[in-house]
Amino acid sequence: MPRGDFTAGESTGGPRLLVILATALAVAGAGFSTFAESFEAAVARLRRPAVGIGMADFKDRVGLDGYRSEADALAKAYEPAAAGFLRSRTKGPDIDSALLALLTLAVLADEPNAAAELAGCLRDSGFSDAHVLMALTYAPAPTALASAEEALARLDAQPKALAAAAALFRFFGDAHHASLLEADLARLPESALRLREEATRDLVALRQRLARPDEERRAWAAQDLTVWRAIRLMPDMHSVNSELWHQAGKACAATRFTPAFLKDRLGASTIDLYELRLLLMIAGIQRETAVVPELTMFVETARRSWGDAMDALLSIGTREALAPVERLIVPPKPPAEGGPIDGMSAERLEEVQRGALVSSLCERLARCGDRATLRLMESLAADTAYPPRERDAFARARDAIRARLGAGP
């Protein structure tokens, strides 16, 4: 018979071949076991950060950034059979296991098995799992775009897949993807209003990125991703104001936002409310003087989130920034004909809101006002168009600014 065609009983090499195969299988099994053990050890570290690394340091990261170092380490120990193991861990048994498994698959997504498992996670969720979508934003662009294109192909059976496609095209897509998205938006039924609005917001951001010069697009997308990630996994939605402020601080720690990016996004024709508020807070934290005109427009036209814009202007604190805030201080309207304002009429509510704003601005301008503010407070403290309690508040602000600035012109 030919040399290669023999059985174990017909060749003295047969037993040796079995030993080699058994050894190879044992080594492969040992490698997989080692990977699984490494994964569980990583999860344990995430739950109990090492000495010198506080839980706040881990939690104070944007999106899945807090899992990145462990995911990178696991990627170095990767074995092909580990992709299925990671897929099994995307369902838990707890949130740290799930997020670490997803991010590790994303880091490994240049490897076909890992990319297939990550895509399968999104597909099996009906293209709606926020954690899987988040992980895909950490994957290489071809992997993310493949999932986005698959989502578009499923629109007839799963219309909600459009939201996943739009989000991924926003960060990784090109002009062709923008056209595809626009065409699919046009096909949506009128009843899908919320889905249309969500996908349209992503399309607007995609077109803004594509409008930038080629050399700026990567950095623009990175900033946009930071903002998007910061609000997508907010843990405490019962305290939105403080949580947004916390996320804005985390975003600023992660990157420096350019004036061009902030101007683009603040001027977007449509934008998610939380994204808008986060951007306004970022402008204040960075004390970004270049966007004072945009912030002023929010305040002067009373656009939504104008209060966050006002806060940002006060944080910036230049004369150009303080002036539009100072113009918000106005006297009460004369009583309506027929007697004083009372009850819960619209006029009464407006007056209560005006008085509360004046009181708040006095306290805040006392801490950040300049000499022009001092002169304004000196004038207002003597202005009888304001009620006595407000003139007293102006006087307190005047004295505080004078004490803080000291003698001067």
Give the residue extent of every domain in the chain: 28-126, 140-211, 218-328
Residue 280: closest CA among 319, 322, 251, 238: 251
Supply the pLDDT for residue 52.
Answer: 45
Phi, psi of 269 (to 5 degrees): -70, -25
- pTM for the whole structure: 0.86
Round to whole Å and give the CA distance between 107 and 114: 9
Q: Provide the H-helix boundaries in 60-140.
A: 68-76, 82-89, 95-107, 112-124, 130-136
The pair of three-digit structure tokens given for residue 160, joined into one six-digit string: 């909600």
| The one-letter amino acid at 41 | A
Q: At which residue do the structure tokens 């690394």 appear?
A: 53
* 377 neighbors 397 (Cβ within 8 angstroms): yes
Angle at 104 between CA 103 and CA 109, to 5 degrees: 95
Per-residue model confidence (pLDDT) at position 341: 53
Measured CA to CA, the distance from residue 101 to residue 393 in angstroms comes to 56
Return the residue matching tokens 């040992």: 30
d(CA 115, CA 105) in angstroms, rounded, equals 7
Which residue in 89, 101, 166 sits closest to 127, CA to CA?
166
In the three-class reduction of DSSP (H, G, I as helix; E, B as strand; rest coil), residue 189 is classed as coil
Give, as one character, the DSSP assignment of residue 352: H
- Closest by CA to 367, choosing from 396, 387, 390, 409, is 396
Question: What's residue 48's pLDDT?
Answer: 74
pLDDT tens, per residue, the chain with 409 residues: 333 333 333 344 454 444 333 333 333 444 457 899 999 999 999 987 644 444 445 467 899 999 999 999 999 988 878 999 999 999 988 999 999 999 999 999 999 999 999 999 999 999 999 999 999 999 999 999 999 999 999 988 788 899 999 999 999 999 999 999 999 999 888 888 999 999 999 999 999 999 999 999 999 999 999 999 999 877 666 788 999 999 999 999 999 999 999 999 999 999 999 999 999 999 999 999 999 999 999 999 988 899 999 999 999 999 999 999 999 999 998 876 545 555 667 888 888 999 999 999 999 999 999 999 999 999 999 999 999 999 999 999 999 999 999 866 6
Confidence at residue 107, expressed as pLDDT on a 0 to 100 scale: 96
Distance from C-alpha of 356 to C-alpha of 390, rounded to nearest angstrom: 10
Helix (H) or strand (E) holding 111: none
Looking up tokens 């113009």 gives 327
Number of CB atoms found within 10 A of residue 156's CB = 8
Contact yes or no for 122/132 (Cβ under 8 A): yes
Residue 176's identity, in one-letter code, is: H
**Measured distance CA(239)–CA(227) in Å, rounded:** 19
pLDDT on residue 401: 97
Query: What DSSP designation does 9 have?
Result: G
Distance from C-alpha of 236 to C-alpha of 246, rounded to nearest angstrom: 11
Cα–Cα distance between 397 and 326 in angstroms, integer? 13
Torsion sign over Cα 69, 70, 76, 80: negative
Measured distance CA(395)–CA(379) in Å, rounded = 9
Of residues 288, 266, 290, the one with CA closest to residue 278: 266
